[in-house]
Structure 1
């Protein structure tokens, strides 16, 4: 991606500093992953790369699911500010869907069997038809993506050796996930006024149980499919190194685990004390590394 003109830098710097930390800002940015498709784009390491590429396999179907889940409740909410946040959320997620569809097409271009990896994910989302069930799953998945996004923005050095187009996409995605991370849970609270606090807690926890374990099972199922394309055998040594990278050093999943488990606390609130600072850092980074975003449509 070409470097933006100096005036674009100044415009986007000003925009970044003027933004309300609670504002949801849809940014119509394109990253041309197809034109920059690369295997092992993080540290020239298949395991580090699959830990991130594997997330993109879930995202197009997942983001369409999230939009449907929240849009169902938008017209029913008395809180018009929250209804407006749903719209901003939906526009952000629509742009994410577009970019990750291209990302997955780029993986196909590189020879990965994306269809085989996506099929059970698509089927899993399709069987969930109850609106409240969809909403509870959306709350849980949004917490998981927000946890990964917080890790990315707190420790951008984890992507220091990433190919530039991929690093830009994931930093942008992390920022926007953090901006809208509380919307789904706010909708759940607003959409269930007749539930007791403990009934709502049960709905939320069952949603996480119905998300976390299937996600891990499907993710681990897809690892050998991905590795097979590169002629890599997923034997004992592979899985021991996979465990080391996820749980020891750099320990991506280990670092995420405490925040994921916070979701099970009865008084859980998705907002953290350092969210505003992380979003400021993310917006400053975006102002320096990306051209100013095009104006987004008001609705999806």
Structure 2
């Protein structure tokens, strides 16, 4: 099912991985989001809602992890990319926080979710891993999570999954996806600058994988259980209707995830920059 949207062209600066741009956005009408704003499907909508919870605090974690080693970056090009990365992540966090306020207005359990996420991930698990494996571990986790977000962005754009979103939510998701592709190699390149350890890179990716899947699936089903408009019948109806999305997303995501284990892997190998640029001009 496709949702028709009228897009207001914003004439945004082109995607450039060598010189990313901080694009400040102004999305309209999102305060009137319907309860199930992805293809009128609760299962898909609450999957995206889980990301809205994860992103603001996650973006702040990415920024801190990269900034902690920014003084060791001597290459001027990478230093400028780090600044743009930070600026983009700040904007992403702000826009997703706006959506959290909308979701609170829909009586979603946002405050409980955010507190649970902040405490378990950022006050317990990650500090514990940092204590055991050292300060560079957080940077390795960031690089791994950036690979996930860029991979999902590429798949979403390629299959136009954003076109199923209501109104300007389509543009918000597409803008974020394009910028995730644009800056996807920044955290990785900073990690390679401070440590070329294959063990550290893969350990970070494994931890990132558990975090990414664990929190996204848990929060998605927390949303579903708290949604008074979702009973057992609708749950399975929407789950079944979402299978086509899954067939497009998960096989490619698994393939891209496995690429991360190659010793000579680099995010630029997966491309997607022209694809992102073609998508960006539709916002």
C-alpha offsets along residues 233-279 of structure 1, whole Å, 9 cap, x if unaligned?
67699469648735875443333221122112222111136423213
Distance in 1 between residues matched to 2:263 and 2:205, nearest whole Å: 13
How many Å apart are 1:149 and its aligned residue? 0.7
Q: 2:113 aligns with which of 117, 129, 133?
A: 117
Q: TM-score, normalised by structure 2?
A: 0.85
Q: 1:163 aligns with which of 163, 166, 191?
A: 166
Distance 1:282 1:247, change over 3 A: closer
Q: 2:269 aligns with which of 269, 272, 286?
A: 272
Q: How does 1:180-259 map to 2 (within 5 A)?
A: 180-192=183-195, 195=196, 200-231=197-228, 238=235, 242=239, 245=242, 250-259=247-256
- Alignment of 1:263 onto 2:260: yes
Report the secondary structure of 2:268's partner residue: coil
2:145 aligns to what? 141
Distance in 2 between residues matched to 1:125 and 1:51, nearest whole Å: 22
Structure 2 unaligned blocks of 5 or more? none
Contact 1:21 1:280 in 2 (8 A): no
Contact 1:33 1:106 in 2 (8 A): no
Structure 1 unaligned blocks of 5 or more? 287-300
Q: 1:64 aligns with which of 60, 66, 83?
A: 60
Q: How does 1:70-89 map to 2 (within 5 A)?
A: 70-89=66-85
Distance in 1 between residues matched to 2:213 and 2:207, nearest whole Å: 11
How many Å apart are 1:118 and its aligned residue? 2.1
How many Å apart are 1:226 and its aligned residue? 0.7
C-alpha offsets along residues 263-299 of structure 1, whole Å, 9 cap, x if unaligned?
122221111364232132123223xxxxxxxxxxxxx
Contact 2:30 2:168 in 1 (8 A): no
Distance 1:268 1:77, change over 3 A: same
Distance 1:283 1:237, change over 3 A: closer
C-alpha offsets along residues 50-90 of structure 1, whole Å, 9 cap, x if unaligned?
12121111000000000001111112222222111111000
- The count of corresponding residues between Structure 1 and Structure 2 is 271
223-232 or 21-30: bigger deviation:
223-232
Q: 1:50 aligns with which of 46, 58, 77?
A: 46
- Alignment of 1:151 onto 2:158: no
How many Å apart are 1:35 and its aligned residue? 2.1
